[in-house]
Amino acid sequence: MGRLAEGLLRAGASVEIVSLNPRKHRMEMVQAPLPMQTVDIDTSRMVRPSLSRGTPFIVARFLSGAFREAIRAAMRRFTPDVVQIESPFLLPYAATVREESGARVVLRSLNVEFRIWEGLVRNERNALRRFALRRVAASLRAYEVRQLNTPDAVVPISAEDREAFRRLGCTRPIHVVPCGITPGPLPAKAAESGTVGFIGSLDFRPNQEAVMWIVDELWPRVTERAPEAHLSIAGSGAPDWLRRHAARQNIEFLGEVDDAQAFLARMSVIIAPLFAGGGMRIKVLEAMALAKPIVATTLGAGGIDVQSDHDIIIADDVMSFAGGVTRLLHEPETAARIGNAARITVVTRYDNDTLARGLLRFYESLL
pLDDT tens digits along 53-84 = 568 888 888 899 999 999 999 999 999 999 99
pLDDT at 50: 46
pTM: 0.77
Query: Please, which pLDDT band fits residue 213 given cuts at 50, 70 and 90?
Result: very high
Q: Tell me, what amino acid is at 199?
A: I
Residue 51 confidence (pLDDT) = 47
pLDDT at 52 > cutoff 60: no
Strand order in the sheet with 153-156: 82-86, 104-109, 153-156
Nearest to 339 by CA among 178, 181, 187: 187
When the pLDDT of each residue in the chain is averaged and rounded to a whole number, the result is: 90
Given pLDDT bands bounded at 50, 70 and 90, which one contains residue 33? Answer: confident
pLDDT, one tens digit per residue, over 246-275 is 776 678 888 889 899 999 999 999 999 988
The domains of the chain, with CATH numbers, are: 2-180+352-366 (3.40.50.2000), 195-349 (3.40.50.2000)
pLDDT at residue 24, rounded to an integer:
67
